[in-house]
Amino acid sequence: MAELHNLRINQDRLWDSLMEMAKIGATPKGGCARLALTDLDKQGRDLFVRWCQEAGCTVSVDRMGNIFARRPGRNNTLPPVVTGSHLDTQPTGGKFDGVYGVLAGLEVVRALNDHNFETEAPIEVSVWTNEEGSRFAPAMVSSGVFAGVFTEDYGLGRADLDGRTIGDELKRIGYAGDLPVGGRKFKAFFEAHIEQGPILEAERKTIGVVQGIQGMRWFEVTVTGTDCHAGTTPMPRRRDAMLGCARIVERVHQIALDHAPGVSTVGLVKVMPNSRNTIPGSVFFSVDLRHPHDEELLKMTAALNAACSEICGALDLQYECREIWHSPASHFDEGCVGAVRRAAEERGYAWRDITSGAGHDAGYISRVAPTAMIFVPCADGISHNEVETATPSDLAAGCNVLLRAMLEHAV
C-alpha cells in the first residue's frame, strides 16, 4: 500500500474522461448541451455509472435521481466521505462546469485503486440531479431536497416549459431510484469546481480554498408614473417611470460599490407601454443583490429601499419593491476548509481563500454535513459558455487536493 503523502491522481486519465464525457451533447463551438433528464443526460449518467462499476463501486440512486457510487472502506458502518457535483449543463454550456467535480471524484477512486489504498471510512462520488435549473427551476433542487430545504413532492413536481415533471422524466430515463432522499450522515462533503470567475487566473493561483457561498436576494421593482404624450407634455409636468428606473439602476450599482465585495445587477427591464413617443407610465425590473455576509446583504437591501423611496418621491412616482427569493450565505466547515488549505500547502500549489459568487450543490449540503469546496482557474473566468476551458494541470491539481482532503477525513 502506498504512503499517503505519495498518492497522486492520474492527470491524463482525468482529462481523457472529461473529453469522453464531453462528446455526449457536444456542440459545434466546443461546448456541451446536456440538459437535465434528457436522453443525453441519461447517456452521461450511464457512462458515469459504467465507469464507477468498472472501478469496483456499488451504485445506488435515490428518489430524486441523485447517484451515489460507493467505494467500501475497512469500516463500512462509518458515514462516508463524499464528493461530487452535477452532470447536467446549460443549453450552451461548457465541458467542465459540474462535470469536473463528478469526474474528479471518480479519479480519486481510480487513484486509490491504482495504489491499493484502503480507507477506514467508505468513499462516495455523488451526482446531483438538475443543478443548473435551466430546464427545471429552481437550480440545485435535488441537493436542496437532500438537505431538507425542499420537500420531495416539490422536487419531483418541478415541470419544464412543456409541462414534463422531474418525476416523470426520471422514470422515463430509468433514474427514479428507490433510496430515500437525504436523512443519512456524511462524514464530510467536498465539491471540486472551476471558479467560473476571473480571480484565481488573474492572481496566478492554482487552488481556491472556498470559504462559503455568498448570500443572494432577488427583488422585483415596479415604478409607476403616468403615460403621456412625448411632444406635448412639458418637462416639469412629467411623471416618467423610466427616469425613476434609470436613477434607481445607477444607485443599485453604487450600493454594491459602497458594500464591497458585494455585487448588484439589474438584468431584466420591461418598459410600458414601450412606445417611442409616449412617456413610460410604468417600468418593471429585477434587482439581484449578493454579498458573502448576511448582515451586509441586509444593509444593501435597506439601501435599495431607501433609494426607491427617495428617487420616486422626488419624481412624484409610486413604486413597489418586493423581495421574491432569498438564499442565505453559506459558511463552510472550518475542519473541511482547513483540510483543503493543508492539502494545497502540502502539494505546493499557490492558493488563496475565496468566496463563491455562484450557487453550488455544496451550499445546500453544507446545511446537513461538514462541507468545503475546491476551485481551480478557468480561462478568462468564462463559464456558462461553450468556450469555457481549464488546463489539464490545474484540473489535476484540484483533484490532487481533493484526494488529500478526502483522505484526511477517511483514513
Catalog residues that contact Zn ion under the rule CB under 5 A: 97-98
Nearer of residues 84 and 122 to Zn ion, judged by Cβ:
84
Residue 341 contacts residue 209 (beta carbons within 8 Å): yes
What crossing angle do the helices spanning 99-114 and 11-22 adopt, rounded to 10°?
Answer: 140
Q: How far is the CB of 259 from Zn ion (least distance, A)?
A: 26
Q: How far is the CB of 158 from Zn ion (least distance, A)?
A: 18
Residue 317 contacts residue 352 (beta carbons within 8 Å): no
Q: How far is the CB of 46 from Zn ion (least distance, A)?
A: 21
Read off the DSSP letter of residue 117.
Answer: P
Return the C-alpha cell found at 229: 404624450
Q: How far is the CB of 183 from Zn ion (least distance, A)?
A: 25
Q: How far is the CB of 401 from Zn ion (least distance, A)?
A: 18
Q: How far is the CB of 214 from Zn ion (least distance, A)?
A: 15
Nearer of residues 300 and 402 to Zn ion, judged by Cβ:
402
Report the 10 Å Cβ neighbour count for 260. 9
Nearer of residues 97 and 152 to Zn ion, judged by Cβ:
97
Q: How far is the CB of 4 from Zn ion (least distance, A)?
A: 29
Q: Give the DSSP per-residue string, 218-260.
A: EEEEEEE---EETTTS-GGG---HHHHHHHHHHHHHHHHHHTT
Nearer of residues 119 and 126 to Zn ion, judged by Cβ:
126
Report the 10 Å Cβ neighbour count for 262. 20
Rounded to whole angstroms, how far apart are CA atoms 365 and 30? 31
Residue 395 contacts residue 376 (beta carbons within 8 Å): yes
Shortest-Cβ-distance residue relative to Zn ion:
98
Nearer of residues 214 and 282 to Zn ion, judged by Cβ:
214
Nearer of residues 197 and 225 to Zn ion, judged by Cβ:
197
Q: How far is the CB of 313 from Zn ion (least distance, A)?
A: 42
Select from 256, 219, 210 the least CA-distant residue to 363.
Answer: 210
CA 30 from chain centre, in angstroms, equals 21
Q: How far is the CB of 25 from Zn ion (least distance, A)?
A: 15
Which ranges constitute the DSSP H helices of 33-90? 39-54
Nearer of residues 97 and 195 to Zn ion, judged by Cβ:
97
- Classify the phi-psi angles of 240: left when phi > 0, otherwise alpha if psi is within -120 to 50, otherwise beta: beta
Do the bridges between strand 215-224 and strand 318-327 make them parallel or antiparallel, or are there none, so unpaired? antiparallel
Nearer of residues 62 and 191 to Zn ion, judged by Cβ:
191
Rounded to whole angstroms, how far apart are CA atoms 85 and 65? 13
Nearer of residues 97 and 240 to Zn ion, judged by Cβ:
97
- Classify the phi-psi angles of 235: left when phi > 0, otherwise alpha if psi is within -120 to 50, otherwise beta: alpha
Nearer of residues 127 and 279 to Zn ion, judged by Cβ:
127
Q: How far is the CB of 107 from Zn ion (least distance, A)?
A: 17
Do the bridges between strand 330-331 and strand 282-291 make them parallel or antiparallel, or are there none, so unpaired? unpaired
Residue 346 contacts residue 404 (beta carbons within 8 Å): yes
Rounded to whole angstroms, how far apart are CA atoms 331 and 212? 4
**Those residues with Cβ within 8 angstroms of residue 224's Cβ, 6 or more apart along the chain or in another chain:** 241, 281, 282, 317, 318, 319
